[in-house]
Amino acid sequence: MQILTALEPLRTALSALKSGDNSDRPALALVPTMGALHEGHLTLVREAKRRAASVVVSIFVNPRQFGPNEDLATYPRQLEADAALLEAEGVAVLWAPTVEAMYPASYATTVQVGGLDTVLCGAARPGHFDGVATVVTKLLNQVQPDVALFGEKDWQQLAIIRRMARDLDMTHPRADAILGVPTVREADGLAMSSRNKYLTAAERAAAPAMNRSMREAAAQIVAGKRVADTLAVLREAVLAAGFDRVDYADLRDAETLQALTELGERPARLLVAAHLGKARLIDNVAVGGGQTC
């Protein structure tokens, strides 16, 4: 596995991978990450290997998606350990640019996806998704993959990246090649996340209650219970489980993220963000479209 930190060596390596590919599969898959890898990330890598001849994984803790009072300085960084995991998975290239390589002193451009970026996590974290859209655009331009894979745990991020790829007529990858991979969970249902490391033992024991409460609420909505009442009960259940506060507990259209007051024929997502100690946990479950998962 090549570990690269500068753009020109990356381009040389990717050109060699593409020219040496004689398979009938897509040549390159990209898995963007911020490192501190866990089984959820490795599941993305394995799916990428299934879909393309070579896999590129990026590790970049993107300062532009952190607010002034967020955890940029303390976000877990373990490049050496992450590299060992990726090499064991058969990754071809680890792209680990420096901040200076990604955002040189003259850098002046921001990508904004209007409408989808100011609700849910965007309301609680102003500018966050501008940073996400900007860095993902740069990563897609740098690697030019045939397919890019993202976890469904951050459903809003996935929806924004798909809209961005469609609106900007991206060809590497196309909007329909931005793939979501189902959330990987611990045995007790907690969504895997690098920020779970912030939880104390007592907080870790309380954390799965959020997903359990979400699934109960989703089942109630499918059964015909009034959405507003069900969401109010969900908020109270999360707080009663020991969470400090709930940023949102919403039912949204799965593609447009429009708030829903009732379940229609289109797929929907129940999305929650809540604070537990030093951790801000997010999760979502599918509701409608013939399934709840």
Q: How far is it, in rounded angstroms, from Cα 194 to Cα 279?
A: 10
Q: How far is it, in rounded angstroms, from Cα 238 to Cα 246?
A: 8
Cis-peptide, bond into residue 173, ω within 30° of zero: yes
Catalytic residue among 41, 128, 172, 275: 41
Number of alpha carbons in the 13 Å side-chain half-sphere of residue 146: 18
Residue 240, C-beta contacts closer than 8 angstroms, at least 6 positions apart: none
Please count the other Cβ atoms lying within 10 Å of the Cβ belonging to residue 26.
17
Q: Say if residues 86 and 94 touch (Cβ distance below 8 Å).
A: yes
Q: Which two tokens stand for residue 61?
A: 């803790």
Q: Say if residues 253 and 260 touch (Cβ distance below 8 Å).
A: yes
How do the pLDDT tens digits run along the chain, 293 residues long? 999 999 999 999 999 999 877 778 899 999 999 999 999 999 999 999 999 999 999 999 999 999 998 999 999 999 999 999 999 999 999 999 999 999 999 999 999 999 999 999 999 999 999 999 999 999 999 999 999 999 999 999 999 999 999 999 999 999 999 999 999 999 999 999 999 999 999 999 999 999 999 999 999 999 999 999 999 999 999 999 999 999 999 999 999 999 999 999 999 999 999 999 999 999 999 998 644 44
Q: How far is it, in rounded angstroms, from Cα 72 to Cα 69?
A: 9
Q: How far is it, in rounded angstroms, from Cα 51 to Cα 29?
A: 7
Q: What is the pTM of this model?
A: 0.94
Number of alpha carbons in the 13 Å side-chain half-sphere of residue 145: 32
Q: How far is it, in rounded angstroms, from Cα 148 to Cα 57?
A: 10
pLDDT at 289: 66
Q: What is the helix (H) or strand (E) element at residue 48, kind and residue range?
A: helix 39-51
pLDDT at 23: 76
Q: Between the CA of residue 242 and those of 247, 272, 278, what are the distances in Å?
A: 14, 15, 13
Ordered by where they begin, the domains of the chain are 2-181 (3.40.50.620), 194-286 (3.30.1300.10)
Q: What is the helix (H) or strand (E) element at residue 180, kind and residue range?
A: strand 178-181
Instruction: Tell me the Ramachandran region of residue 263: left when phi exceeds 0, alpha when psi lies from -120 to 50, beta otherwise.
Output: beta
Between CA 213 and CA 218, with CA 215 as vertex, the angle to 5 degrees is 110
Residue 137, C-beta contacts closer than 8 angstroms, at least 6 positions apart: 111, 164, 168
Q: Is 41 a known active-site residue?
A: yes
The one-letter code for the residue type at 228 is A
pLDDT at 290: 46
pLDDT at 198: 96
Task: Report residue 248: phi and psi, to 5°.
Answer: -160, 155
| Residue written as token pair 């469609």 | 166
pLDDT at 291: 47
